[in-house]
Amino acid sequence: MTQSNGLKDTIACETRISQIIDDTLSYAVYNISELMENNASFEEVIYLLWNLHLPTQIELKHFVNDL
């Protein structure tokens, strides 16, 4: 069994894409649990990660067509 060095060789940086506060994961200020409860699609979440906001229906339609 290998011994863990914790975060010794891990590089960390600040990001606007995701954060963990009090054991709650968020993408661009949207709580992951809420995205799941609202049945956010894969495409909506990818749009969110790329644009830092959820798409409108028109934005989503264009985004999916461009994929």
* Per-residue pLDDT reduced to its tens digit, 5-49: 777 888 778 888 888 889 898 999 899 999 999 999 999 999 999
d(CA 16, CA 14): 7
CB atoms within 10 A of CB 48: 19
Contacts of 49 (CB under 8 A, 6+ apart): 17, 27, 28
Tokens in use for 12? 């960390």
Q: Chain centroid to CA 1: how far?
A: 33
The more confident residue out of 9 and 51 is 51
Global confidence as pTM: 0.75
